[in-house]
Structure 1
């Protein structure tokens, strides 16, 4: 038997796992990157160098949105992320580092590499911004799913590629001339035949003496839906592990506000709490923190301000919140108006005895 290249190797690369993680992590990163990071001293918002770094330009090469997206990607994918502060106050995300842990002393970070530059300096825990996702189950889950879903996905793709595939069997009489030139000539002829069948709607091939082509039909049917089902199954498993409601990924419109609220509460808020706690610990001294200085992160609101106007009016007229407190709840800054600092109560919320007295006077 001559060594003709009749069987083409199939690729074993599976991109499903990368796509699923990318979709989920991108969704979380885009949401967090729209947050506003504020340092507050009591009710006052401090707009200083740190405010500029966290919200506009963390370093010379990144905008704030790009910086936070990269940070979230590393945090979720690699289970940890390290941010260092350069001599020029730039905030830089480390590509790799060595983390040395201690029981009663500060942890240290050495061999910190950013792009192509490695710092010779060893950083202490108090000098860096360090976050851990601390979800070992996610890593275990993904590793296991890669194997199971990847194998299943690969098999279904191969079945799908063979659907309606033109197959042929070539009968060749014993070749007397077994030289390389003769083999190359015959291989060339076979390649031309299959190229004509695959590229042209009508292909006519002349029959050669000692050469017979017998076409075989393939009746196996494997719908494309099966490929989509396996891909979606893997995607939904990853989304569940990260706390993303499946309905949001599917694009379902039923109860979209409820699903969005769950997404913000169970997925986004825990990550923002991690970031807030680390900011409070690294950017604020203990004595100043106890006096009321805090990091305040305003995440993007999923409710339109006009949709909650009636509820805001009730909270204001019942005296539960004043105007400036409601502005903060809505994500707006406090206004310099003494009237907004007052608590007001309409007659509808007064005690019944006072309401009756008012009626008698009238």
Structure 2
């Protein structure tokens, strides 16, 4: 089906209808504006997820001890020769959100996000991927499931669900925009004695007056409109404004953002750009959107690039999401004191959480606890007045 046939069927509700060139321009403008609203909401949601993931630190452990070797550098700095980690992760999330799945192939020491591929699903054996392309290069080989990283976002493609919902809602938005524009428009009455004969010079001038000169006259701030004998132009009575305002239309456009945000587990206020309640909205998004996404990516990396044997020995990768939030040191100074004083974190742990370099001193790696903490048994014994001797026996 050609473009014009498709367009006429869309306008005709599934049936092909005849449309003129001017009608095509109007229809394209309408569809372009509605698509932009939908795409803006979708890509804003995708960018929120991608930005959150790119802030995370991909930590690598070898036999239970954190190490910063080649695998750490691969995920946090240079996954391939042409992309840094942020660009790579943004492309990964964009493909994942748009297509509900994403294929990452491993070529030597490089990780590449496939632009297109054919997935051959099997039940008892490994799935295979053929016709894999990255950019303008096509791989002439078959990739097996165990050789690649394959991510799936949801059982159902949420972008398609949101698009279907928006397909109905966009009619309401277009109606409101049209009603608003009509209520703000100017109306004129044109009177004339006789209609010139078709094909005559007078008819050509008459048609030019209707189609061109009137439009320029109405749209210009200052203009003169030459009229012939028996012709008269009068503006109708003062226009009456419809009840709708641009804020009403904006509210309906915000509804599209809300639909999209809910589809991806993001708090709607983040997509709308609201400042109030940002902390709660961010916590909601981290819990229901970012953390599940990170878990899915982390699990696929561990099972494909490490395996059970290495994992059982304490060699694995962990994506740390604690650095996503912006940290104001002055606002959390009391919390920092509690974390160190309770012995949960050492000084270097806190420095790393705050984005600072660790201190290369033995005391910075030690855990401290204040004297306010003691065993429950000791506290009860003190309340009863009992004391302990050197052999730790009550006297």
Shift of 1:295: 0.6
Q: Which moved more, 1:42-51 or 1:145-154?
A: 42-51
Q: Which moved more, 1:156-165 or 1:72-81?
A: 156-165
- CA distances 1:257-298 after superposition (whole Å, capped 9, x unpaired): 232222212111111111111111121132111100111212
Shift of 1:124: 0.5
Q: Does 1:348 align with 2:380?
A: no
Q: Cα RMSD between the aligned structures?
A: 3.2
Q: Aligned to 1:146, which of 158, 166, 169?
A: 166
Q: Aligned to 1:208, which of 205, 228, 232?
A: 228
* Residues 357 and 42 of structure 1, relative CA distance in 2, 3 Å threshold: farther
Cα distance between partner residues in 2 of 1:187 and 1:358: 111
Q: Aligned to 2:187, which of 160, 167, 177?
A: 167
User: Which residue of structure 2 aligns with residue 312 of structure 1?
Assistant: 336
Answer yes or no: is the 8 Å Cα contact 2:105–2:148 preserved in 1. yes
Instruction: Give ranges in structure 2 of 5+ residues lacking alignment.
Output: 1-20, 390-395
Shift of 1:358: 9.1
Q: Does 1:12 align with 2:12?
A: no
Answer yes or no: is the 8 Å Cα contact 2:265–2:288 preserved in 1. yes
TM-score, L = length of structure 1: 0.85
Answer yes or no: is the 8 Å Cα contact 2:196–2:202 preserved in 1. no
Shift of 1:184: 4.8
For residue 97 of structure 1, give the secondary structure of its aligned residue in structure 2.
strand
User: Which residue of structure 1 aligns with residue 306 of structure 2?
Assistant: 284
Shift of 1:319: 3.7
Shift of 1:321: 4.6
TM-score, L = length of structure 2: 0.78
Cα distance between partner residues in 2 of 1:30 and 1:343: 33
* Residues 182 and 209 of structure 1, relative CA distance in 2, 3 Å threshold: closer
Shift of 1:110: 0.7
* Residues 143 and 246 of structure 1, relative CA distance in 2, 3 Å threshold: closer
* Residues 6 and 98 of structure 1, relative CA distance in 2, 3 Å threshold: closer
Q: Aligned to 1:79, which of 90, 97, 100?
A: 100
Answer yes or no: is the 8 Å Cα contact 1:16–1:150 preserved in 2. no
Answer yes or no: is the 8 Å Cα contact 2:64–2:315 preserved in 1. no
Cα distance between partner residues in 1 of 2:134 and 2:320: 29
Cα distance between partner residues in 1 of 2:333 and 2:22: 71
Q: Which moved more, 1:154-163 or 1:66-75?
A: 154-163
User: Which residue of structure 1 aligns with residue 278 of structure 2?
Assistant: 256
Shift of 1:130: 0.8
User: Which residue of structure 2 aligns with residue 70 of structure 1?
Assistant: 91
